[in-house]
A = this chain, B = another copy of it.
Amino acid sequence: MFSFSEENYLKAIFHLERKYQAGVSTNALAEEMETKASSVTDMIKKLSEKELVIYKKYQGVKLSELGDKTAIQVIRKHRLWEYFLVEKLNFNWDEVHDIAEQLEHIKSEKLTQELDKFLGFPKRDPHGDPIPDAEGNFSVANKMLLSELGKAEKGICVGVKDSSSEFLRFLDKNNISLGKEIKVLEKEAFDGSMLILIEERELRISQLISNNLYIKIQ
């Protein structure tokens, strides 16, 4: 159907559209894909011919309905495989991304469906991101960043914005994981750091940390 490279572009466009709530510029896409703008232009033309994106010269791209659907299916596979790796094969949540980047391109509708069933139709991947169902629907939870919480407010940790190994290992080291309740005890206006209560422990975290943790409030 589509090549690995095409699927990766679609995925990148999908994420950038969400992030900026707008069409995606050639340069932004080049940065996301870690490639050059000229390569992006070439690929965009190809995707446009295949009607996966809507493209007008110098005006950036956005996904067509087909492109959107395709991107979501790739993301669905990525997140299902991540869940599989963590839940069934004993991987840590910071080790799964690169392998899922490969597995997401395996072509078999039946494989995806059966894997989903085998895993019990999970709703979220190990990083708290929603897993689209077979029809491409997924919940956009009413989550917010921990840094947005005020003093004495609390919520449940439901996801990470940055899912780099470094950040995830930091969380592991400090025993912060999805599902745990976090309460803000103090907030330092000067540097944005905060003192939080998690599992009876008090912990001081920098703004960089609270800016990358998603919280759901009751």
Contact = CB atoms under 8 A, between A and B. Distances in A.
B102 A85 contact: no
Given A102-B106, A106-B102, A111 B85 contact: yes
A90 interface: yes
Interface in A75-104: 85, 88-91, 95, 98-99, 102-103
B111 A89 contact: yes
B102 A107 contact: yes
A96 to B, nearest CB: 10
A130 to B, nearest CB: 23
Contacts of A90: 114
Interface residues of A, number: 18
Interface in A143-202: none
A110 B88 contact: no
A108 interface: yes
A115 B89 contact: yes
A118 interface: yes
Chain B CB within 10 Å, residue with most, of A89, A90, A115: A89
Nearest to A105: B102
A118 B89 contact: yes
A98 B108 CA distance: 9
A74 to B, nearest CB: 14
A152 to B, nearest CB: 43
Given A85-B111, A89-B118, A98-B108, 4 more contacts: A88-B118, A99-B108, A99-B111, A103-B103
